[in-house]
Amino acid sequence: MAPDRNDKIPTSSIVMKAIDAKTFSELEAFVKDLEARPTDRLLRDLPDLVGLSESKASIIAYVLATKFRHADEDGRHTIRESVAGTLERLPPGEERERVSHVLERLHGLQNAPRVTGFE
């Protein structure tokens, strides 16, 4: 059966890596790719990433929380607003709930001190 023309096909390389990551070593490489990915691109791919699985959504939340802790105040604001915007655009369902959990995690870190280098 041919795919429906309206089916959403993920084109982001990180989404494709997330789909393919099944073994521990593949998941480990996926996390390293997430950590290295620019925050704005990770935020852009958030709706597709959280739709994959609960466990991968938890990994995404962890990486975003880490990026949030390392960001300056403007960066934190950008991350919060982007995640909130994604939440508003998603229809009710699992993906929306997963993005809601990401946002709740960020709100819990709102007053956390900024993490800087570990010299």
Paired tokens of 63: 């990486």
So what's the pLDDT on residue 11?
67
Dihedral angle at the C-alpha atoms of 100, 42, 35, 94, nearest 10 degrees?
30
Express each pLDDT in 42-63 by its tens digit: 999 999 999 888 988 999 999 9
Task: Specify the residue for token string 């809601």.
Answer: 100
Are 17 and 60 in contact, with CB atoms under 8 Å apart? no
**How far is it, in rounded angstroms, from Cα 102 to Cα 104?**
5
pLDDT for residue 1 is more than 80: no
Note the pLDDT of residue 44: 93
Per-residue pLDDT tens over the stretch 75-114: 999 999 999 999 999 999 999 999 999 999 888 876 655 5
Task: Specify the pLDDT at position 52.
Answer: 87
> What was the pLDDT predicted at 75?
93
pLDDT for 112 equals 56
**What is the model's pTM?**
0.77
Overall average pLDDT of the 31-40 stretch = 92
Confidence of residue 74 (pLDDT cuts 50, 70, 90): very high
Higher pLDDT: 19 or 49? It is 49
